[in-house]
Structure 1
Amino acid sequence: MEELVDAAVELIGIRSTADRPDDLQRALDLVVGLVGPGFPVRRFSSGGKPSVLIGPPSPRVVLNAHLDVVPGEASQFAARREGDLLYGRGAHDMKCAALVMAAVFRSLAPKLPYPLALQLVTDEEVGGFDGTGHQVAQGVTADFVVIGEQSNLRVVAESKGIMQVRLTATGRTAHAAYPWLGSNALLTILEAVRRLMERFPVPSEEVWSTTVNVAKIETGNTAFNVVPSSATAWLDIRFVPSDADLFDRLGEIAGPGVSVHLDAMGAPHHADPSCREVRLLQEAAESVGFDGSLLRKHGSADGRFYSARGVNAVIFGPGGDGQHGPKEYVDLRTLRPYHDALTGFLRSLTAG
């Protein structure tokens, strides 16, 4: 895997965030170049986000990887190795997994008795609608999908859904010295947030339940001595399937005087844990020394675009920690087992 580590250092050095389209393209071109010639490459673009599908549009299996990352400090884009750990933005989420998938595809695609495809996208961190979502809408499908998000070689067959919501309220402005002459829109929003957090409190430990993150609260005020006449709260909601109707209930929960606006919505992801492909993937993980057990993910991933079409899609990736944080790393000791497990899984499908 040393050659792959060198490529990972180069890929991590590309600041492929949503606001840097040239770097998104550079990251994509680097991985496509590593796959090499001899494969059909179909290029897509939607919302300014490029993506590719290497291989046929309706393969037996799709290996899916995203090359975009969340923003970080400049130092995080200079990968550093400490023993068996490789630190850097995207090391774990999920540039190293993408490189392993590219290597597996390059090696196996010409040899397998069924069609295999590699799907590379650049917008997963901002919703996935212009990458995997766009490709699926354009007719790309598969019998089974493996998404290389981090899982320490466990198999994720279920993920929460996502809602990005804005709560807005309007009031009446007044001089802050005479608040009774106005109506403070910010207090209305704060009460709505309080009601929501009372309904969905922040868990003290990991639990499979709906959570609400208050990402931002703002008003149009530019001075201290003004009663705000408008206010907005941004919410990131990760919901379990039993709360699939939550958006319809948000207005009632938030209370009077609050409008609810949906900015983005992604359904929960689910794959049949008893299907043959999931069992074979678990066995492949076990064969390289990992337990391959099933895992639920609290974060949303691009598998939801496939599961919405009735296609089983799972997350299966290497080990590491700290994704989206200042000390993100991939555990290099898991890359060879990850490579071998993917290889073993894809070969095992030929038996049936």
Structure 2
Amino acid sequence: MTRWTDRLADLVAIPSTADRPADLRRALDLVVTGVGDGFAVRRFESNGKPSALLHAPGATGPFPVVLNAHLDVVPAPPAQFVPRRDGDRLYGRGTHDMKAAALVMADVFRSVARDLPIALQLVTDEEVGGADGTGHQLAEGVRAGFVVIGEQSGLRVVTESKGICHARLTTTGRAAHAAYPWLGDNALVSLLGALDRLLARYPVPAAEAWATTVNVARVETPNAAFNQVPAAASAWVDIRYPPGDGDFSGRTGSEVAAHLRAVTGVSASVDALGPPHRADPGSAAVTGLREAIRSVGYPGDLLRKHGAADGRYYHALGIDAVIFGPGGDGQHGPDEYVDLTTLEPYHDALRAFLSRWPAAASGPGGSARPG
């Protein structure tokens, strides 16, 4: 495990958050440099977010397999960028989501890419939507037959993940002195009623459920005083939806906004809309990956993820992408850690899969098709 922990500690110590472009580049350069010489490195940048695609010299794609990893993390207090090992766990921001997987993928790529026409895709904006990393590279023509994204999965294979909608609800009223509320119209009260209607339509499940969920992320008014009836109010909502939800799946931003207005009775707008993702669980590629996982002693179970990931950009082009990553817990939280005992089997499973991929791709039901 030492061969992973030293390099991972260096990478975790870089606070590669969206508001620190120099640190995004430092993290990217550290991994690219670690791959070593002898590979082509294609650099990209969009809206200040750098990314890279590594492959054997002369390869142009479509690549039969792309290994995709993001190196950006969500913000955290400075102490979380000081990695700490406790037994088989390494704690720190980004250990699990997903710098450990990125380093393992880079190692696997270095060991096999001279013999196999695969690519390593490194991006720095997944935590803020992915449009300037994976999305931008695809817009520039990068294509794959099959994609493995190293997001955390506990050595299981994620073939389905939810879509994401970021929306704003807004209300207007009439300002008045708080001592005379009957003279005003409280916009915040109207907004809270709208949120109640939205949550009644999409209630928070009592336990994990493959259903549409709504998180109220922020509620605010422009008020600067206690003794004023607010004349305006707004709320941010984060909606996650499975592929089968016709209220959101396959609809445009304007159609979703109209739906939210109908449900809540107030003004609604959509800031971001990302489709759900699904890969064929019976394809030769997925079957081959699961067999490789079993060969290193893990069951290779299928998993659905409630969070969105960059696989949706590939899914939109008809390219199968799955999530497959190591074990751990606490991503985005104060106790995030990676399970160090899963890194070696993760590495070995990826190598086993890639070594068998040409046969799997050409077999019945193979899905190594260009997008």
Q: TM-score, normalised by structure 2?
A: 0.92
Tell me what 2:357 maps to: 349
Tell me what 2:38 maps to: 38
For 2:335, what is the secondary structure of its paired residue?
Answer: coil
**C-alpha distance in structure 2 between counterparts of 1:29 and 1:41, whole Å:** 11
1:121-146 deviation line (CA, Å, top 9, x unaligned): 00101111111011111111100000
1:245 Cα deviation after fit: 3.0
The answer to whether structure 1 residue 49 and structure 2 residue 49 are counterparts is yes
Find 1:162's aligned residue among 164, 172, 187.
164
Match of 2:217, as an amino acid? A
For 1:151, what is the secondary structure of its paired residue?
Answer: coil
Find 1:329's aligned residue among 324, 337, 353.
337
Tell me what 2:252 maps to: none
**C-alpha distance in structure 1 between counterparts of 2:260 and 2:4, whole Å:** 47
The answer to whether structure 1 residue 262 and structure 2 residue 270 are counterparts is yes
C-alpha change, 1:25 and 1:57, in structure 2 (3 Å) is: farther
1:199 Cα deviation after fit: 1.3
**C-alpha distance in structure 2 between counterparts of 1:317 and 1:3, whole Å:** 18
Q: Percent identity?
A: 65
1:170 Cα deviation after fit: 1.0
Say if 1:79 and 1:87, in contact at 8 Å, map to a contact too: yes
Query: What number of residue pairs does the alignment pair up?
Result: 348
Match of 2:15, as an amino acid? R
Alignment of 1:7-26 (within 5 A): 7-26=7-26
List structure 1 segments (4+ residues) > 6 angstroms apart after TM superposition: none
The answer to whether structure 1 residue 286 and structure 2 residue 286 are counterparts is no
Say if 1:282 and 1:293, in contact at 8 Å, map to a contact too: yes
1:350 Cα deviation after fit: 2.5
Say if 1:148 and 1:317, in contact at 8 Å, map to a contact too: yes
Gaps of 5+ in 1: none
Tell me what 1:143 maps to: 145
Match of 1:262, as an amino acid? V
Alignment of 1:192-341 (within 5 A): 192-246=194-248, 247=256, 248-255=258-265, 258-341=266-349
Find 1:87's aligned residue among 91, 100, 112.
91
1:298-330 deviation line (CA, Å, top 9, x unaligned): 000000000110000000000001101110000
**C-alpha distance in structure 2 between counterparts of 1:196 and 1:245, whole Å:** 13
For 2:298, what is the secondary structure of its paired residue?
Answer: coil
Aligned-residue Cα RMSD (Å) equals 0.9
Tell me what 1:184 maps to: 186
Match of 2:53, as an amino acid? L
Q: TM-score, normalised by structure 1?
A: 0.97
Say if 1:57 and 1:139, in contact at 8 Å, map to a contact too: no
Match of 1:317, as an amino acid? G
Tell me what 1:97 maps to: 101
1:266-324 deviation line (CA, Å, top 9, x unaligned): 00000011110000000011111111011000000000000110000000000001101
1:242 Cα deviation after fit: 2.3
Match of 2:339, as an amino acid? D
1:231-290 deviation line (CA, Å, top 9, x unaligned): 0000010011222433242111111xx211111110000001111000000001111111
Alignment of 1:61-140 (within 5 A): 61-112=65-116, 115-140=117-142
Match of 1:123, as an amino acid? D
Say if 1:53 and 1:119, in contact at 8 Å, map to a contact too: yes
**C-alpha distance in structure 2 between counterparts of 1:41 and 1:326, whole Å:** 35
For 1:274, what is the secondary structure of its paired residue?
Answer: coil
**C-alpha distance in structure 2 between counterparts of 1:8 and 1:301, whole Å:** 22
For 1:6, what is the secondary structure of its paired residue?
Answer: helix
1:179 Cα deviation after fit: 1.3
**C-alpha distance in structure 1 between counterparts of 2:246 and 2:137, whole Å:** 25
